[in-house]
């Protein structure tokens, strides 16, 4: 049976992992005092703006779409994200995920300061905010989670971690700073409830073509390894854990930026493929 929401959520979580996704947000779940994404809000030099559109599909059927608006400099970054149902999935579900992140950059590293995640299913909306206070991530949810998992993510699990968006922002930064060594090791991630690692494996180079880009890309496989904060019904299946999220990361040499141009995971019904349809990079 085709589970549109499960497929879309798989695509949404993969897309949020990009660290580059977004749409200017003024919807339910954002507070009036949340900062608006703007060039002026990002200090530093070499300020750039990335705009793009990604689409996700299951087999040959389109199920979701994401728009991007990210601003970053040599010392800071902000990005908004919005994933919504499209095509076949829009016939079966009313579901979207929005996220926002802000943080600092430097020495080939990205360090988040705040992360907000809003998930809507019909009339139900949950907002999760994470503040990164020194090395410790502290979260709040509205409405609160019924359970924080078995076991919950304790202070040790929430120390020196990244949010889901910054994790792949950090991976993109490492592509430029660590030639030949970027796609290896682990990225520790906390999303406000669940704590997991992304274990990275370099799969070499591959020539690919999407509507937005064509050429040679670095292929990076990210294996999802849950650690804490999971309820039994939310724990990934062995099949989901066995298959990595494969990411094709392309260099845009005129800007020094590395961006994911394709992602694929075999988890779920038929697997999910995400491809870049439009990419625009501006130096401001």
Domain positions in the chain: 4-283
Name residue 228's beta-bridge partners. 195
> Could you give the percent of the chain with pLDDT greater than 70?
75
Average pLDDT estimate for 249-265? 86
Whether the Cβ atoms of residue 246 and residue 203 lie closer than 8 Å to each other: yes
* pLDDT, position 219: 93
Note the pLDDT tens digit of each residue in 80-107. Answer: 888 775 554 444 556 778 888 999 887 7
**What does each C-alpha distance from 12 to 67, 79, 217, 277 come to in angstroms?**
12, 15, 22, 16
Q: Give me 171's structure tokens.
A: 């991976």
Confidence category of residue 265, pLDDT binned at 50, 70, 90: confident
Between 77-91, 94-108, 124-138, 243-257, the lowest mean confidence (pLDDT) is in: 77-91
Cβ partners under 8 Å of residue 255, min gap 6: 48, 281, 283
Whether the Cβ atoms of residue 132 and residue 111 lie closer than 8 Å to each other: yes
Higher pLDDT, 4 or 142: 142
Q: Give me 245's structure tokens.
A: 């999220």
| pLDDT surpassing 80 at residue 63 | no
Cβ partners under 8 Å of residue 173, min gap 6: 105, 108, 109, 110, 258
Please, is 146 exposed, middle or buried when counting C-beta atoms within 10 Å of its C-beta (0-12, 13-18, 19+)?
exposed
Name the one residue in this structure whose structure tokens are 């501006």.
Answer: 282
Note the pLDDT tens digit of each residue in 137-192. Answer: 999 999 999 999 999 999 999 999 999 888 877 887 777 665 556 788 899 999 99
Q: Give me 33's structure tokens.
A: 């005092």
SS3 content of the chain, % helix, strand, coil (to 5): 15, 50, 35
Evaluate the omega torsion of the peptide bond into residue 21 and state whether it is cis, within 30 degrees of 0. no
Give the number of C-alpha atoms closer than 13 A to the C-alpha of residue 177, restricted to the C-beta side.
13
* pLDDT, position 207: 95
Average pLDDT, the chain: 79
Name residue 77's beta-bridge partners. 72, 103
Average pLDDT estimate for 48-52? 87
Between 77-86, 231-240, 246-255, the lowest mean confidence (pLDDT) is in: 77-86
**What does each C-alpha distance from 259 to 49, 156, 280 come to in angstroms?**
13, 31, 11
Distance CA 189, CA 227 (A): 10
Is residue 104 helix, strand or coil? strand
Average pLDDT estimate for 40-45? 66
Cβ partners under 8 Å of residue 63, min gap 6: 4, 7, 8, 11, 56, 57, 85, 86, 87, 88, 89, 272
Q: Is the pTM of this model over 0.85?
A: no
């Amino acid at each position: 049976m085709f589970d549109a929401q499960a497929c879309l959520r798989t695509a949404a979580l993969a897309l949020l992992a990009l660290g580059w996704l977004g749409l200017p947000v003024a919807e339910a779940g954002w507070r009036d005092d949340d900062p608006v994404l703007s060039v002026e809000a990002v200090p530093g030099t070499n300020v750039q703006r990335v705009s793009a559109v990604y689409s996700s599909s299951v087999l040959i059927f389109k199920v979701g779409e994401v728009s991007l608006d990210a601003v970053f400099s040599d010392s800071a970054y902000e990005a908004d994200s919005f994933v919504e149902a499209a095509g076949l999935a829009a016939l079966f579900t009313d579901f979207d995920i929005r996220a926002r992140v802000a943080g600092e950059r430097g020495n080939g590293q990205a360090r988040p300061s705040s992360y907000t995640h809003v998930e809507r299913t019909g009339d139900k909306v949950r907002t999760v905010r994470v503040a990164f206070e020194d090395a410790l991530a502290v979260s709040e949810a509205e409405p609160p989670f019924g359970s924080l998992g078995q076991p919950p993510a304790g202070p040790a699990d929430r120390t020196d971690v990244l949010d889901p968006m910054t994790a792949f922002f950090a991976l993109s930064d490492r592509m430029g700073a660590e030639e030949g060594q970027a796609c290896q090791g682990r990225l520790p991630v906390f999303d406000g409830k669940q704590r997991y690692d992304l274990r990275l494996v370099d799969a070499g180079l591959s020539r690919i073509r999407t509507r937005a880009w064509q050429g040679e890309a670095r292929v990076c496989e990210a294996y999802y390894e849950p650690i804490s904060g999971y309820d039994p019904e939310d724990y990934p299946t062995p099949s989901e854990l066995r298959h990595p999220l494969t990411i094709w990361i392309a260099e845009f040499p005129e800007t020094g930026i590395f961006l994911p141009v394709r992602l694929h995971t075999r988890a779920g019904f038929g697997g999910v493929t995400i491809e870049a349809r439009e990419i625009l990079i501006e130096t401001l």
